[in-house]
Amino acid sequence: MIKQHTSTIDYNDKVIDIHDVYKSFGTLEVLKGVDLQLFKGENLVVLGRSGTGKSVLIKLISGLLMPDQGTINVLGEQVDELDVKELQKLRLRIGFSFQSSALYDSMTIRENLEFPLVRNKRHLKRAEIDESVENVLEAVGLSQTINQMPSELSGGQRKRIGIARTLILQPDIMLYDEPTAGLDPITCIDINNLINEVQQQYKTSSIIITHDLACAKTVGDRIVMLLDGRFERQGNFDEIFDTDDARVKPFHDYNFID
Ligand SMILES: Nc1ncnc2c1ncn2[C@@H]1O[C@H](COP(=O)(O)OP(=O)(O)OP(=O)(O)O)[C@@H](O)[C@H]1O
Ligand SMILES: [Mg+2]
């Protein structure tokens, strides 16, 4: 079933506004005039073949890479004009969920979750830290794991803890790079539901990069597809695939062949 309309999206407020962005590496032209907006409260899904530049896009948004041309505005800031300090401040408002959850193996779940707080919000008191840890663990449904080690958790649970660790800084924007990659179908459903719960509970605006069309369908308020360096198609799930374009059809047919 395609995602129902999310009433809390504010289409007058662009939290990300990318205009005519180009990015090459040597002779490899990856992005060729990208325009993209993310609206406040929206879950935006980005589809596209391997190597089309989806992860590059996330790095541009977070200022880890700079565009060759074009403008990238994030939360009202022009990313390419910020100095190192300003960029760091902006990045604290953006949560990343990478493919590998990258938890610290030698730390307990509690210590893993405290880490970003202790590092970035030094003024917090012990009781406030404890409360934040308990709240995010509850949000991802894993309160019982607080004293366990990452090695004792399943891949899906580690993914949830990775998302919790990001949420603990209460980001305005969440960037999910292939959140369901390598997970079994039931765990995928769990993660998709979590992405929607995060949208509702934490009022985040999110970009979700995925090859998983069930994920796209469940979490995406809007879907865009990167084709030949630009976002040529956008719409809801049915609109995106209502085409005979040979670059688009295989995505759908591979997943939902009759
Ligand atoms: N720092 C870099 N230096 C040189 N080339 C790079 C760099 N980062 C990315 N690329 C190249 O840019 C292209 C796009 O990479 P990107 O990681 O964005 O692909 P993707 O769309 O995320 O693919 P996938 O779906 O496989 O994750 C690739 O050809 C990659 O080799
Ligand atoms: Mg990628």
Look at residues 85, 79, 75, 5 and name the one whose alpha carbon lies nearest to residue 42.
5
Q: Is the pLDDT of residue 258 over 60?
A: no
| pLDDT (0 to 100) of residue 99 | 65
Query: Nearest-5° angle of CA 46, CA 55, CA 121?
Result: 105
Give the whole-angstrom CA distance, residue 15 versus residue 21: 17
Q: Check whether residue 19 and residue 84 sit in a common domain.
A: yes
Is 182 in the same domain as 209? yes
pLDDT tens sequence across 59-111: 999 999 999 999 999 999 999 999 999 999 999 999 988 766 689 999 999 99
The whole-model pTM stands at 0.93
Residue scoring higher pLDDT (108 or 181):
108
Residue ending a domain, choose from 170, 205, 226? 170
Distance (Å) from CA 204 to ligand 1 centroid: 26
Shared domain check, 15 and 32 = yes
CA of 64 to the centre of ligand 2 (A): 14
Of the three residues 148, 170, 192, the one that is the final residue of a domain is 170
Residue 47 above 90 pLDDT?
yes
Domain boundary pick from 170, 190, 217: 170
pLDDT band at 121 (very low <50, low <70, confident <90, very high): confident
Which of 156, 157, 150, 108 is closest to 133 using CA atoms?
A: 108
Q: Whose CA is nearest to atom 5 of ligand 1?
A: 25
CATH number, domain of 258, equals 3.40.50.300
- Do 8 and 64 have their domain in common? yes
Q: Print the domain residue range for 128.
A: 101-170
Q: Are residues 258 and 186 in the same domain?
A: yes
User: pLDDT at residue 18 above 70?
Assistant: yes
Give me the pLDDT at residue 198, please.
93
For ligand 1, atom 28, name the residue with the nearest CA.
51
Q: Which of 116-120, 134-138, 174-178 has the lowest mean pLDDT?
A: 116-120
Task: Say whether both 166 and 176 belong to one domain.
Answer: no
What is the CA(172)–ligand 2 centre distance, in A?
22
- Judged against a pLDDT cut of 70, whether residue 235 lies above it is answered with yes
CA of 122 to the centre of ligand 2 (A): 33
252 and 182 in a single domain? The answer is yes
When the pLDDT of each residue in the chain is averaged and rounded to a whole number, the result is: 92
- Are 108 and 140 found together in one domain? yes
The pLDDT tens digits for 139-155 are: 999 999 999 999 999 88
DSSP β-bridge partners for residue 227:
230
Distant-in-sequence, close-in-space partners of 225: CB < 8 Å, separation ≥ 6: 46, 47, 48, 231, 232, 233, 234, 240, 248, 251
- CA–centroid distance for 232 within its chain: 21
Residue 57 confidence (pLDDT) above 80: yes
Query: Are 80 and 17 in the same domain?
Result: yes
Residue 54 shares a structural domain with residue 153: no
Same domain, 2 and 120: no
> Does one domain contain both 32 and 128?
no
pLDDT-derived band at 1 (thresholds 50, 70, 90) equals: confident
Q: What is the pLDDT of residue 253?
A: 80
Quickly tell me which residue has 């800084």 as its tokens.
Answer: 169
| Mutate-to-test residue for ligand 1 from 34, 54, 180, 226, highest number of ligand atoms within 8 A of CB | 54
Pocket lined around ligand 1, Cβ cut-off 6 Å: 25, 28, 30, 48, 50-56
Number of domains the chain contains: 2
Q: Please, which pLDDT band fits residue 3 given cuts at 50, 70 and 90?
A: confident
